[in-house]
Structure 1
């Protein structure tokens, strides 16, 4: 019994044939087409979010003093940028994995691995978005109780770019939430 289990676990990610027609059944094909589309969208959104965050800077002069706003001055924005980099990288890797998975025999273990990947990435993206949103809200509205003043009325271009970057990151979160639900649905259909 242990040898059967070990044999079964050893080929979890083994590709049975690269000559198999991609997405052979219509139901199988729809699942993988949606997986590809959502992963490509996630890659595009994270790349756009990273580019926008990297270019978010603005300098102003107040009373003869030049003040500069950059994303790198905030640990929350640096965290969001790092999350975007990680998510983009793992999205590319998972796109390759899903492509290989679409060309191989269906296995609940393989789909479960994809589900776990999507769930972890969604949670990581949620953390990054929450951090970016929290500090962005403080930058926009300030916090009078502790004496933090709003800065977006002074560095509007900077705040607009950061807002766009955070919004694009939320779009990635939506993609990965959909991918997670899609993977759970596929696992459920394989179980029945």
Structure 2
């Protein structure tokens, strides 16, 4: 997975890649910070990078603002926070294991505050292993900001919480909207 900052300033915006077009065709797009995340083929030393935009592969030259991570590593920098009304079931299906029998589906409810969060623990193809996060409100209040060290502490304290699997994509279609992820270290 490739994360590309300041793409607009590199001239691609003028060549027809408008924000509204990209936001539907790439993995993540954060207009406020001008960050774009694309799926890419495993890069080869000295060769341009091939990125997926919609159903097409495009060539992107290497520049310092490009960072390439595995999908799993990239997503583990984010919290999964599914949208849902307070005390109502989520629209997403949770399972005890990847590729589980649909009859074993687990229905989870949004909490009374409407802020249930999950750590992304692992990616296995189209499946994402997530673990329910503790209520970190009291820790957050102590520090006023949760930095990387704080998230490590919260992650460790969450290790006893339930683990679930969700299907986060189906082929090229992302099933978990970008709006349900937020970057941990920027909170």
| TM-score of the pair, normalised by structure 1 | 0.24
Bigger radius of gyration: 1
Structure with the larger RCO, 1 or 2 (CA within 8 Å, 6+ apart): 1
More strand by share: 2
